[in-house]
């Protein structure tokens, strides 16, 4: 095993967790625990381990695995996986109910970071920047209000429509792929964390306010998403409770998104939306 490489990955893991603790302390009241990282000598060994792990237990070992030969792509995936687990443990309720713009956006944001001088250095995400610029130019840009109200199915259907519109033209198909709704979905989070939305009066605290409203909505409807009363007493009951919640919120996405949207933006006027759309479009294009 390469001790130098292992030490580097452990330092990067600590940087991700330190950044998450400092930046998203408002995400929940949970206490994210330690994670186990397994570094394999190459991708063949990693695949072999994952296959064995998945056969030996229903959910595998729970370890985060990667191989030394993955390079920057491996760190991107590693950082996103570590951050996903941090978020899930910080607020378990949000693990199954994040809207696509938020889930996709935060994952892409942390995946764009580069470990430098003991901390995370956030760079421009080329794929997201290209998607937004092309969509703005083609008049296909998803504006904030539409993104905030879009379910996972909505984004998938939008991509299908783009692909259908491209027909058999290879150039048009490539254009549709590069400005897909999923590629655009992370744009609004980047706008809030690194764009004009970071300092604008109406949006500078939008992320914590949105998450607070989402958690409030989830708590109010908690009983509806569970088929049993009381706290689960076994791991099997906990797994069943989690499955029920996932199923409930998948079926009630639109209702949930609309309720949270109305609460978060109840003070927004038409002029506020016009200003936000103009700012976002200008930044995207």
SS3 call for 1: coil
Q: What's the pLDDT at 239?
A: 56
Alpha-carbon distance 39 to 30, whole Å?
27
DSSP state of 141: P
Residues 129 and 45: their CA atoms lie apart, in Å, by 35
Dist CA 69 CA 41 (whole Å): 7
The predicted model scores a pTM of: 0.83
Which two three-digit tokens encode residue 64? 């985060």
Count, in order, helices (H) and strands (E) of the chain. 14, 4
pLDDT (tens, 9 = 90+) of the chain, 285 residues, equals 578 888 888 888 899 999 999 999 999 999 998 888 888 877 787 777 776 655 434 344 577 887 777 666 677 888 888 899 999 999 988 887 889 999 999 988 998 888 888 888 888 788 899 999 999 999 999 999 999 999 999 999 999 998 898 888 998 889 889 999 988 988 999 999 999 999 999 999 999 999 999 999 988 876 555 444 555 556 565 556 555 565 666 677 889 999 999 999 999 999 999 999 999 999 998
Q: Which two tokens stand for residue 164?
A: 């259908």
Q: How far apart are CA 15 and CA 167, in angstroms?
A: 45
Tokens representing 105?
A: 């956006």
Q: End-to-end distance of the chain based on CA atoms, in angstroms?
A: 46
């Amino acid at each position: 095993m390469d001790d130098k490489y292992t030490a580097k990955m452990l330092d990067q893991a600590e940087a991700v967790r330190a950044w998450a603790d400092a930046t998203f302390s408002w995400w929940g009241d949970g206490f994210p625990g330690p994670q186990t990282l397994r570094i394999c000598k190459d991708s063949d060994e990693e695949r072999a381990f994952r296959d064995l792990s998945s056969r030996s237990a229903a959910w595998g070992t729970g370890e985060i695995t990667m191989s030394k030969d993955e390079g920057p792509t491996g760190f991107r995936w590693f950082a996103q996986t570590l951050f996903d687990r941090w978020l899930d443990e910080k607020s378990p309720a949000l693990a199954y109910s994040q809207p696509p713009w938020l889930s996709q956006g935060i994952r892409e944001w942390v995946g764009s970071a580069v470990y430098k001088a003991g901390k995370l250095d956030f760079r421009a995400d080329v794929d997201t920047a290209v998607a937004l610029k092309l969509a703005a130019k083609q008049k296909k840009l998803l504006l904030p209000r539409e993104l905030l109200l879009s379910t996972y199915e909505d984004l998938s259907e939008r991509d299908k429509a783009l692909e259908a519109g491209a027909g058999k033209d290879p150039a048009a198909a490539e254009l549709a792929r590069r400005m897909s709704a999923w590629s655009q979905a992370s744009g609004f989070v980047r706008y809030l964390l690194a764009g004009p939305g970071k300092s604008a009066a109406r949006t500078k605290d939008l992320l914590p306010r949105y998450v607070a409203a989402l958690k409030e909505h989830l708590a109010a409807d908690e009983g509806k998403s569970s088929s049993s009363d009381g706290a689960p007493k076994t791991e099997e009951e906990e797994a069943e409770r989690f499955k029920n919640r996932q199923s409930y919120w998948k079926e009630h996405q639109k209702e949930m998104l609309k309720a949270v949207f109305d609460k978060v933006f109840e003070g927004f006027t038409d002029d506020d939306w016009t200003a936000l759309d103009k700012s976002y479009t200008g930044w995207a294009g």
